[in-house]
A and B are shown apart, each in its own frame.
Chain A
Amino acid sequence: MQIIPVPGNLEISTFDQLAGELVKGGEEKVLFDARHLRWVDPGGIVGLLAAGAYARELQGAPPRLQLVEAGDVATYLARMNFFEAAESIFELDIKPPRRSWSGSDVLLEVTPITTNTDVHAVVDRVQKQAGTILSRTLNYPASAVVQFSVILSEVCQNIIEHAEAPGWVAAQAYNWAKRLGRQVLTISVMDVGKGFRGSLADTHAARFGDRWGDATALEAAFIHGLTRFPDSGRGQGIQQIRKQVRRWDGTISIRSGTARIADVPEWDEAPPLEEHLPAFPGAQIHIVLPAQEGGHA
């Protein structure tokens, strides 16, 4: 059995460790050892689901997931609907705890995205729940709920239009006291589908020749708005998301295959492009929106 240690802090920046462990494996059954998990954010939660789904696909059997049954992490995972989503992916070693977390900073629990209707359900739910978090916790104007819903709609649609595989979305507000000195809203969307390189290969690989790869595919979509569809109205979603995230001084990153591309504001030190990461299928989109200081954005 291959034992994959889940990082103690599971978030988007430690997801690469998880991916790195997966690629080492062969055909044996997989056990995700999350007994030392002490902190996880939406990026980490959907990352764990995606890693489990990928392992399941590789091995043809559900991987096992070990978690500590009691404690804040298990309670938080329950509050975020992790166990409902995990049921169809993992063999769980624990009985899922009851959802007793009363935190009001969860904007969107983990939601599987497989159909158009799922995206509508996400937008509907966010319209109900986002207003208070965005305005009171993050100092965004009332109109931000609409712009935020549009961002969510566009990133979730990418799963259905391009991935040809399941995906998940989650969002929550946090206090980044040490990192940034204020509250942030994080949104994570992941799928285990074709990825940008796979999606764009048929229509764009030839023009790049030998340079074609995960990084060039990401640049093609992220920077140049290229899409596999010939329709001239396509390819606007990511561009518009980037613009809105920039207006809010946020960051957006997209990881696909072995590369990650990002729009990085001044307060973040992440590189705008990373290559040679451990290979992982599909796409992982991560957005961080900081609280607005003083007045509204």
Chain B
Amino acid sequence: MPEFGIDPVSIDVGHLVRRNVASLYSSLVTRPTGQAVRLAIENVLAEEAGPFSLSIIDLSQVTIIDFSCADEVVAKLLLRYLAEERPKDAFFVFRGLKELHRGPIEVVLKRQSLATVAEMEEGPFQLMGVVSAEEEEVWRFLEERGALAESDLGNVPSAGDANHAMALLVQRRLVFRNPLTGEFRALSSLMQDLA
């Protein structure tokens, strides 16, 4: 993305947990720990990232996540950067997710009607949380191609309004739209570019 600056920020949550709690295990449990990790992530974004960033939140070293921590580290983090008065324009991908992480994360996302892009430990990128069938279809279409122009949305084999669904995905920060070119980018594709 040479003509528009997006900073990649990679955050190892397991390391943050071990730094906050003297433990051999990276257990993301208890609300105070979740809050401390979330604030640490926000600090990294404030200090290291430019105005636009793609934050890759790595949970691969996390052995357990409870509902309180999922609420802090996933739901509240997303809410902060979705808000009108967000500190920066940050996009998030949660990577290294295991099936054992799915339950608590899905619950907290559903509670707040949020969604996020996730890269499971095994398997393709996917959307977690609350998305409509149209949003899922359009997102999948973009995910398979990496990038789309607005004119390509007519090719989405969707029964619904693909333009509207894509607008929602952009608004919810599940898709990046280049403000200069108008091109839509899958966050997974952006990750590969920035790696």
Contact = CB atoms under 8 A, between A and B. Distances in A.
Physical interaction between A and B = yes
Interface string A271-297: 000000000000000000000000000
Given A150-B104, A233-B112, A123 B67 contact: no
Contacts of A150: 29, 64-67, 104
Interface in B13-57: 21-25, 27, 29-33
Interface of chain A, main secondary structure:
helix
Interface size class of A (residues with CB under 8 A): 20 to 34
A116 B107 contact: no
B33 A143 contact: no
B111 interface: yes
Interface in A99-138: 116-117, 119-121, 123-124, 127
Contacts of A117: 21-22
B138 interface: no
Contact of A233 (B66, B71, B100, B103): B71
Interface size class of B (residues with CB under 8 A): 20 to 34
A233 B30 contact: no
A236 B71 contact: yes
B68 A124 contact: no
Contacts of A183: none
B185 interface: no
Interface string A144-177: 0011011001100100110000000000000000
A29 B23 CA distance: 42
A127 B25 contact: yes
Contacts of A149: 27, 29, 64, 66
B142 interface: no
A97 interface: no
Nearest to A148: B64
B111 A232 contact: yes
Interface of A: 116-117, 119-121, 123-124, 127, 143, 146-147, 149-150, 153-154, 157, 160-161, 232-234, 236-237, 240
For the complex of A and B, list the 6 residue pairs with the smallest distance between their C-beta atoms, beginning with the closest.
A153-B29, A233-B71, A153-B66, A146-B100, A150-B66, A116-B32
